[in-house]
Amino acid sequence: MFNSFGRHVRQQFVGYLALFVALGGVSYAAVVLPRNSVGTAQIKSGAVRNSDLGRNAVTSGKVQDGSLLVRDFKRGQLVAGAPGPAGPGGAKGDTGVKGDAGVNGTNGTNGTNGATNVTVVRGDLSLAGMSSGGLRVNCPAGKRVTGGGVGAADGGIDNDRIIQSGPVGPLSVSPVQDTTTGTVPVSWAGRYFNGSASMRTFYVWAICSAP
């Protein structure tokens, strides 16, 4: 039987040799591929792992720009660069919608009652030319002074001068004495200088009201 097999091989040697060469050519063609014929489209996702690559097989020169994102790196692998320059200001945005009206505030407390039974008291004083004089006007009993002043009956001239004008208390001796602190003023006193050469009339007035 062995002799028959050997004789068969010798007789068919050329045929077997041709078959071997043909099969070898197919295998060689399957291994050798054209340059750049295998890209990302031909590789199944997840088919290539770290263990399939040699150490330093993938360098920066082999990585396409923009193909790696921040999420592809572990925390701490990327070093933050220096801040870039500030960008130009953006365009003005559209006006926002009007907000709702606010709630009404609480009412304020009522104020104190104003003065009642207001009375104006006036006193006249005649002064010779280029002289000064004073007058005190007292409020009626039970009332206090809340304001007052001094003036000239003819409206006054540029050379006239008010020397003093103000409220005074009940213990004041002179019509130009100021009221002391805490004293309730009941009078108004004033002094006036007649800046003309002729006799003229001046007046002092006071506003009086009930407490």
pLDDT in the model for residue 71: 77
3-state secondary structure of 40: helix
Check: CB of residue 153 under 8 Å from CB of residue 200. yes
Of the chain, the end-to-end C-alpha distance in Å amounts to: 152
pLDDT along the chain (211 residues), means of 10: 46 48 48 66 70 70 73 77 87 88 88 79 96 94 92 93 89 51 82 96 95 79
Nearest to 194 by CA among 186, 184, 202: 202
Helix axes 13-31, 2-11, angle to 10 degrees: 70
For the chain, which residues make up each domain, given as ranges? 116-210
φ/ψ region of 66 (left if φ > 0, alpha if ψ in -120 to 50, else beta) reads left
Rg (CA), the chain: 58
Per-residue pLDDT at 177: 47
Nearest to 206 by CA among 136, 152, 154, 126: 136
Question: Tell me, what's the pLDDT at 14?
Answer: 45
The whole-model pTM stands at 0.44
Residue type, 2: F
Predicted confidence at residue 9, as pLDDT, reads 42
Distance in angstroms (rounded) separating the CA atoms of residues 190 and 178: 10
User: What pLDDT score does 161 carry?
Assistant: 95
Q: CATH second-level architecture of 116-210?
A: Sandwich (2.60)
Residue 16: how many CA atoms within 13 Å on its side-chain side? 6
